[in-house]
Amino acid sequence: MGKAIVVFSGGQDSTTCLIQALSSFDEVHCITFDYNQRHLHEVDVARDIAKQLGATSHKVMDVGLLNELATSSLTRKNIPVSHKLKKNELPNSFVPGRNILFFTLASIYAYQLEANTVITGVCETDFSGYPDCRNDFINAMNRALVLGMDHPLEICTPLMWLNKAETWALADKFNKLEYVRDNTLTCYNDIIGKGCANCPACDLRQKGLNKYLQDKDVVMTELNNKSK
């Protein structure tokens, strides 16, 4: 079963990935990045969840240089999070280079721990429009890391082709839906659980939960079909 590193924010997606990983690997190590993000409380939430769920270890890394370089509503508190897209058709919450940096550091950590799997909750099916959540990016990044470190490594994306309702179903499959709903921090305005109900992250999360609760059997069947 081996070792895995979970890129862990303490949000719905990464927590669901952690729950699944704990059933699949002998050791699951979490790594969380503090870049002085708008929703900075997520670092504390991630620390609490990793401990509660029984991760083997949890490393929090200071990557404040990202905040200095990348201008976004998640790195500048004077920029309100908006539902509108910018001129480049990207959300103003997109942090350029964030996942490039995170996956690079997580992979270095995997090398150090002799782990061959880095798990991330990115998703192309039902996401916020971030280019660094696409499958093509993950595959390209994976190839570059393997070549650059000469280390067998897989960036695993369990949620890549799931919609948000199916992600809730996955948490429920492990009997953790209520835990994920009540304890995770997805909200860009730093509110645990249901969140602010106004930012794009809260909107996407709640719509997915409503869809799942309205038709559990159908959504669970769709999840199981995708898992075959």
Is residue 18 part of an annotated ligand binding site?
Answer: yes
> How high does pLDDT run on average in the chain?
92
pLDDT tens for 120-171 read 999 998 666 789 999 999 999 999 999 999 999 999 999 999 999 999 999 9
Whether the Cβ atoms of residue 6 and residue 17 lie closer than 8 Å to each other: yes
Domain ranges of the chain: 3-163
Q: What is the pLDDT of residue 24?
A: 96
Is residue 199 part of an annotated ligand binding site?
Answer: yes
Is residue 162 part of an annotated ligand binding site?
Answer: no
Is residue 97 part of an annotated ligand binding site?
Answer: no
| Pair type for strands 3-7 and 117-119 | parallel
Is residue 121 part of an annotated ligand binding site?
Answer: no
Alpha helices (H) along 163-199 = 164-173, 177-183
The partner residues of 119 in beta bridges, in order of sequence, read: 6, 156
Share of the chain above pLDDT 70, in %: 95
- CA 157 vs. chain centroid, Å, equals 10
Residue 53 pLDDT greater than 80, yes or no: yes
CA geometry: angle 28, 183, 138, nearest 5 deg: 45
Is residue 202 part of an annotated ligand binding site?
Answer: yes
Residue 205 pLDDT greater than 90, yes or no: yes
Instruction: Report CA Rg, the chain.
Output: 17
Residue 211 pLDDT greater than 90, yes or no: yes
Is residue 157 part of an annotated ligand binding site?
Answer: no
What string of DSSP letters covers 51-76? HHHT-SEEEEEE-HHHHHH--STTT-
Is residue 187 part of an annotated ligand binding site?
Answer: yes
Supply the CATH classification number for the domain 3-163.
Answer: 3.40.50.620
**How many whole angstroms separate alpha carbon 172 and alpha carbon 178?**
8
Q: What is the pLDDT of residue 82?
A: 66
- The label of the residue with tokens 């995708």 reads 226
Average pLDDT estimate for 186-208: 91
Q: What is the pLDDT of residue 200?
A: 85
> Which pLDDT band, with edges at 50, 70 and 90, does 201 fall under?
confident
Q: What is the pLDDT of residue 126?
A: 67
Is residue 156 part of an annotated ligand binding site?
Answer: no
Whether the Cβ atoms of residue 158 and residue 19 lie closer than 8 Å to each other: no
Q: What is the pLDDT of residue 100?
A: 94
Residue 59 pLDDT greater than 90, yes or no: yes
Is residue 8 part of an annotated ligand binding site?
Answer: yes
Is residue 133 part of an annotated ligand binding site?
Answer: no
pLDDT tens for 73-117 read 777 877 777 666 676 678 777 878 889 999 999 999 999 999 999
Burial class of residue 145, CB neighbours in 10 A (0-12, 13-18, 19+): buried
Token pair in block for residue 69: 């370089």
Q: What is the pLDDT of residue 102?
A: 95
Q: What is the pLDDT of residue 190?
A: 86
157 vs 187, residue with greater confidence: 157
> Which pLDDT band, with edges at 50, 70 and 90, does 194 fall under?
very high
Whether the Cβ atoms of residue 107 and residue 145 lie closer than 8 Å to each other: yes
Q: What is the pLDDT of residue 94?
A: 81
